[in-house]
Structure 1
Amino acid sequence: MTLFKSSALAVLFGGMFSLSAVQAAETFGRSYQPVAAVNSSQTQIVFYRDADAHAGSAHVYVDGEFQSALLPNGFTVFCVKPGSHSLSAYVKDAPAYAGKSAQSFRGNLEAGRTYFVKMGDESGMPMAVTRADAEKALQSMRLQTHMLSRASTVEACDYVGEAPKQYKEYSLSSDVLFPFGKSSRNNITRDGRASIDTLVAQIRRENSTIRNVQVIGHTDQIGSPQANQRLGQQRAETVRLLMVQAGIPARDITAASAGMDEPVVAECYGSKAEKIACYAPNRRVTIRVDGSASGE
């Protein structure tokens, strides 16, 4: 069986621990951004896990060695030398850690290629996914960061050129949309509603077709990571609702939070009022649009 060229890749499931919602929030890093190409001496793998029904982490193994532990809606990116490699993922893997020995599924990875791999369902058969389909799902996912790779064949990726520009990105200031610290539909300002209506008109004018829209809430560095993650999500969901009411089909738009993880400015000092003013650029809602430009 060829691991990455078939329509399905075999992965077995076993088991592991589960994490609380607070712990889970602390295990994720940045949201997904399209990856650039790697040089001809490497192969890149983007491995992700949907919000499946399995509890706990999924241990990801590369050549029989631990690479990461993926929670639902998490992804990992890594590079290896081109050639023959095995890849597997197991839920409820402890205490036997079967993934270290059961490396039945192996494929020949081509030089300079990027493979997108989706963890499968209860059938145990994950899929090799096209970049377009994978990145549509990956938009709402976060990088898994709570575990260090111990796979000796994995190496730092050496990128060439820039990542592909997949989305048009628009931005709205949270200070225009909401009073400080607020997030609900009842809190949104009159100027905020007008800004959303204007943005939706612009998106529809600039795109003849809209395949996917993602609303991402960003916060400042004031407060705990958990509180900011919730605030970013709540603001994104409010903006999503108003964009739907303004004419974007609900099936085409999702909401996610980057919390305080992607700041524009950092290290603000002084009184709380001074920090609020300094951190203002971080408080924003970004909208990524995957569409076809008008006139294409």
Structure 2
Amino acid sequence: MFNRYKTMTVALSGALFFAALPLSANAASANTVFGDTYQPVAPVPADQVQVVYYRTNSSADAAGSAHVYVDKEFHAGLLPNGFSAFCLRPGIHSISAYLNDSPLYQGKQSELYNAELQGGTTYFMRVSANNIPQAVERAEAERELAGSRVQKHALSRASQVEACNYLPVAAAPVYKDYNLSGDVLFAFGKSDFRDITRTGHVAIQKLAVELQRDHAEVRQIQVVGHTDPIGKGSVNYLLGLKRAQTVSQLLVDAGMPSNRLTASSAGSSDPVVEHCSGNRAAQVACNAPNRRVQVRVDVTPVAQ
């Protein structure tokens, strides 16, 4: 991701970087050095790039601050378990962090690292002992960022850094599951309308009433057929699908909106119980919980 390139030595002004001087975590008040703990950052629009630069509490790190430079200008001084989240315009930028580079501020004089950053993307970078920025996948970075706090003791002098225009984050879907016993609904190995038992008809009618009562604005209903592992996988898949389609049609007949219902099959891929043994009768009895039709209702609150 990063390519090394030479930079010319530039004169430094001590006054300009007064806020970037190394700061010991033991010598500074936590309230003035750190801010809020890390929370997952929201996405940014296509005309911005977001960078989360962070430092772990590794014993291999040198003491003092790790100075973060953006396009040859000081941005932040990271202490262990500190991070800085900032935004830039898309394009080629040089970003790096140098451990204890005062009073010479080698981050402005030495080799830097450049990368072409894509709009609408969030990049996670970790401080390293050799000053080379380490690009980290979000999942790993956020595990390491757990408990980290925003670094705030130093003022950014990076002119390319700008406030992030965060996009709204859609709420994660919320589902409620209803499980209907396949043995209650259908005769063993059957899937058609004429194969549904009297008890099965009553169970589906009862479910339709419950759904209409509890979820007036249903977004989507997924009906999934599950089978036991007895027999061929392809046959089990079709059996699960046909059962799901039959239950879906009966729910529509009971008043559920057809355009919000989908039917699919998991076959025997998602068992509730496993390792059934014995003769066929014993296996059929043991696998009864696996023979089911799951009705998953999307109950995510509708945004106002």
Q: TM-score, with normalisation over the residues of structure 1?
A: 0.49
Answer with 1 or 2: which has the greater Rg. Answer: 2
Q: TM-score, with normalisation over the residues of structure 2?
A: 0.47
Higher strand share: 1
